[in-house]
Amino acid sequence: MCGIVGYTGARVAEPVLIEGLQKLEYRGYDSAGVCTVEASGAMHLRRAMGKLAALRARLATEPCPGSTGIGHTRWATHGKPSEHNAHPHRYEGVTVVHNGIIENHRALRAELQAEGHTFSSETDTEIFAHLVARERRGGASLHESVRGAVRRVHGAYALAVLDERCPGEIAFARLASPLVVGLGDGENFLASDVPAVLEHTRRFVFLEDGDTGTITAAGLTLTDVDGRPLSREATQILWSAVMAEKGGHKHFMHKEIAEQPRAVTDTLRGRLGLGDGDVTLDGVDLDVLARAKRIVITACGTSWHAGLVGRYLVEQLARVPCEVELASELRYRDPVLSDDTLVLAISQSGETADTLAALKEAKRRGTMVMSICNVIDAAIPRACAPDGSGKAAGTLYTRAGPEIGVASTKAFVTQLVALHLLALQLASVRKTMTKQALAGDLQALAELPMAIEGLLDGEDAVKAAAARYVAARDMLFLGRGLLFPIALEGALKLKEISYIHAEGYAAGEMKHGPIALIDEHMPVLVLALPGPGYEKVISNMEETRARGGRILAVVDTDDHALDDQVEALFRVPARHPRTAPVLATIPLQLFAYHVACLRGLDVDQPRNLAKSVTVE
């Protein structure tokens, strides 16, 4: 989830690009770069590792003249953060910035290398510079060359391309990654997102999938990939600068909840073999996985909840014994960890001190290690990078993009997806699933983004329900099986942003104690989705109702059995038991969000909490 900016007009481009990148830094910040072209064709490229401040410092002594340019702030997906992997990438006078993931970059790289191309980075993006340059050699215009290049790639891209032979022009293309054109007076802009250039213009063309074109100071040319002209209405943006940074959402948390269909799509991209009924886990050493006789998942907070779902998936699908342990406990427990154990650390930030310490302790005891992480090359993935010992299986990255709201949402959902993929991979290696069953899970995963989209459309109903519980002091969340961790997560979301005391419980445990708490002041949210525990959960609900408890339930779209028995119902299309946890999470996130908003609280930065807990 990188950030792109482009400018062409009469001003010096560099400050416009840098200010634009500053506004996009929330999209990624492991390296940054700009490239400008002067009217003479002289091209200037500067890149720096780290936050934008490092690039600014570089430009202070080595400025980039020219009134056309492109810039980029990076959130690494292929190739670790470093200056040589920073964008723009250059080849034969063509420079490129890109946001997205190119799935067939290895095959294309091999094809180009066979023709004598040499590469200077490990990124998928550099492919574009080479493909465009190759088309240019054949005499095609810059726009034609970009169209030719994008026809060769599979994946997602928002692309901006400069060529020193056509100063004053920026070519672009978009598929499944955001890109907007800002229309100015004698100048035009490109950006991943409106806030980057909102101080210069309020007129925007929101590009759609398959759009390609060029901007010059004089105007915009827009075609489809085959060169057929397109016209798109410009939109006048009325947002304030602060609203624009949050994409028009009131809070980052809301924006991140809304981004989940995209985050899941990206996490699945290139990993689902729908045709051949298999999964492809990039970055993971399958030989190490194959040797694991036991898996110990370790994590903190929300990531630990994801781990609890992971245990069910790994045991159910791959029949590998799996335990889940809080990282802060594992480390001090003197655990039995043999060398055929794989310790799997899950972390959004990749920097959580307890998780990192548990992982290092496991390594010290000679276990195999692996991580699921959202931040490329953070400390946890670095500790799992293959090192020749045959013990480090690498990292399966979630591709949620930067998560800014303190309450984790899109990172959790993509962790669930990554764990499901991992369990399927293990099952495939161990042949514990039939081809047909595997295909069923893959299909259910592929359908998730659309199903989440549908649940987000139902937000108003969740908000209306939230209004009834704003004054609650306590709340219970109940679930069984795969939905027990979702009950824990629903309770954590509510307590951390609304400060309402909330507890998640395995529904079967109710009668062993917590039922004593039930009265009309204790709303109980029951996760009652189809599956082996359904009848029992309904019985637990009856017991609660009989004691005056107020009940909210998450039920399947087609289940009407509880319609007149509960105060509030959230319906989710839970047709597949193993993707149901993801879908059940969405209304719980929205519920917590709206309760906290209605209580007038600081949703993005709840009291006493930090986004990344780097102390033990």
CB of 409 to ligand F6R, least distance (A): 8
Looking at beta carbons, which residue is closest to ligand F6R?
301
Site for ligand F6R contains 407 (CB under 6 A): yes
355, 414, 544, 585: which one contacts ligand F6R (CB under 6 A)?
Answer: 355
- Between CA 344 and CA 606 the distance in angstroms is 29
Site for ligand F6R contains 404 (CB under 6 A): no
Residues 2-31 contacting ligand F6R, CB under 6 A: none
Q: Which of 51, 463, 536, 611 is catalytic?
A: 611
State which amino acid sits at residue 612.
Answer: S
Site for ligand F6R contains 613 (CB under 6 A): yes
What one-character-per-residue DSSP string does 179-198 give? -EEEE-SS-EEEESSGGGGT
Q: 605 or 612: whose CB is closer to ligand F6R?
A: 612
Binding mask 437-476 for ligand F6R (x = CB under 6 A): ----------------------------------------
CB of 357 to ligand F6R, least distance (A): 12
Residues 287-306 contacting ligand F6R, CB under 6 A: 300-303
Signed CA dihedral, 599, 605, 607, 609: sign only:
positive
- Between CA 378 and CA 375 the distance in angstroms is 6
Please check whether residue 11 is in contact with residue 37, taking contact to mean a CB–CB distance below 8 angstroms: no
Q: 4 or 372: whose CB is closer to ligand F6R?
A: 372
CB of 601 to ligand F6R, least distance (A): 14
How many residues at the interface with ligand F6R, by CB under 6 A?
A: 15
Interface region with ligand F6R, contact rule CB under 6 A, candidates 206-214, 344-352, 384-392, 578-586: 344-352
CB of 3 to ligand F6R, least distance (A): 22
Please check whether residue 181 is in contact with residue 214, taking contact to mean a CB–CB distance below 8 angstroms: no
Strands 203-206 and 188-191: unpaired
- Of 164, 141, 162, give the one whose Cα is nearest residue 227: 141
Phi and psi at residue 4, to the nearest 5° = -120, 140
What one-character-per-residue DSSP string does 338-360 give? -TTEEEEEEESSS--HHHHHHHH
Site for ligand F6R contains 347 (CB under 6 A): yes
Q: Which of 2, 322, 373, 597 is catalytic?
A: 2
Binding mask 537-576 for ligand F6R (x = CB under 6 A): ----------------------------------------
- Between CA 72 and CA 88 the distance in angstroms is 7
- Taking CA atoms, 380 is separated from 111, 228, 329, 371, in Å, by 34, 47, 17, 7
- Our answer to whether residue 166 is catalytic in this structure is no
Please check whether residue 99 is in contact with residue 2, taking contact to mean a CB–CB distance below 8 angstroms: yes
CB of 590 to ligand F6R, least distance (A): 15
- Our answer to whether residue 611 is catalytic in this structure is yes
* Segment holding 465, helix H or strand E: helix 459-467
Residues 474-493 contacting ligand F6R, CB under 6 A: 492
The residues annotated as belonging to the active site are: 2, 611
Binding residues (CB under 6 A) for ligand F6R: these are 300-303, 347-349, 352, 355, 407-408, 492, 496, 612-613
